[in-house]
Amino acid sequence: MLDTITTTLTREQIVVAYTEMLSPDRVLTDEQTLKENSVDRYYKVENVFGTYSLPLPAAVVKPVSKEEVAKILVFANEHRINVVPKTGGSATEGGLETVVENSIVVDGSLMNQILEINTTDMLATVQCGVGLEQLEDELRKIGFTTGHSPQSKPLAQFGGLVATRSIGQFSTLYGGIEDMLVGVETVFPNGEICRIKNVPRRAAGPDIRHLVLGNEGALNYITEVSVKIFRHYPQNNKFYGYLLDDINTGIEILRQVVTAGYRPSVARLYDQEDGLYHFKHFSDGRCVLIFVAEGPKGIADATGNAIEEIVATFPRPTASTVL
């Protein structure tokens, strides 16, 4: 919630106000914490070498409810305090940088309750500080999955996942977070708490979920998220990997698989350089094409067969059907 006008309050006044509002142990002001919260992984080098160059926030405040978030934002709004929302802290785009003097970082990671897993409506509702891996682990125990798998899965939490419009490695089948998000609760700077309802589809008017998706906390603070869940059939997974001499062959195979109507969960092509980086042990300087076919057995088998048939029509791809 960037504002070019800086507050007229002093750091001390800000800290006193938030300490009175929240319990003191949830208003962090020690210097190292403030330093670490002045940057994200875009300036990772500053965290590694301890060379911080941005203004330090006045405090990191840790709400435990949407009502506390509302109070925090109302005070900040009235006093022109810049607010930086945060959950998992894995951002790589500079969204967590405290570029304005005397900002506050509102860290929602204590709002970490899974509120509902509904296997009839195929929905999970979580607070913003629930980790993706935390929800995924619970779902796997009962045979379900979020289908969401960004590389930051062990770190990212649902507030940040929605605010960054995140996408994962299984997106060819499951989509990005914008396809998974069913409803969301947010708090506006004036303290208003707004719930975008869980409905199967928006038939009238604009789809206002998109005001929240990807706004990096610039418009509102996300407190609760409802996402689709899917049945998980790991026993049916089929893995395919191919070494290719040129990238254009890989692009054409991908194109043919997808335009034929198949949806492998993973469909990724690495050029020679990237192949060496990720698959040094076998890529041998060639491009690497990988697929995962998953779902109910009939669908996984049909997808896998189609991949192999399409690949076989190309000259000399070196195929290994199991990675």
Ligand X SMILES: Cc1cc2nc3c(=O)[nH]c(=O)nc-3n(C[C@H](O)[C@H](O)[C@H](O)COP(=O)(O)OP(=O)(O)OC[C@H]3O[C@@H](n4cnc5c(N)ncnc54)[C@H](O)[C@@H]3O)c2cc1C
Q: Which residues contribute to the site for ligand X (CB under 6 A)?
A: 40-41, 84-92, 95-96, 108, 128, 150-152, 155-157, 159-161, 163-164, 166-168, 216-217, 221-222
Q: Between residues 90 and 249, which has the closer beta carbon with respect to ligand X?
A: 90
Q: Give every CB contact of residue 167 below 8 A, 6+ residues apart in sequence.
A: 150, 176, 177
CB of 155 to ligand X, least distance (A): 5
Cα separation, 80 vs 103, whole angstroms: 9
**Contact by Cβ (8 Å): 290, 194:** no
- In the bound state with ligand X, the residue whose beta carbon lies nearer, of 13 and 134, is 134
| Choice between 159 and 264, CB closer to ligand X | 159
Q: What's the rounded Cα separation, in Å, for the pair 31 and 241?
A: 49
Tell me how far, at minimum, the Cβ of 232 lies from ligand X, in Å.
20
Q: Which is nearer to ligand X, 145 or 164 (CB)?
A: 164
> C-beta of 301: minimal distance to ligand X in Å?
28
Q: Looking at beta carbons, which residue is closest to ligand X?
A: 160
Nearer to ligand X, 185 or 294 (CB): 185
Distance CA(18)–CA(259), nearest Å, equals: 55
CB of 12 to ligand X, least distance (A): 25
> Which two three-digit tokens encode residue 212?
């929240």
- Tell me how far, at minimum, the Cβ of 164 lies from ligand X, in Å: 3
Output b/e per residue, 218-254; b: 16+ Cβ within 10 A: eebbbbbbbbbbbebeeebebebbbbbeebebbeebb
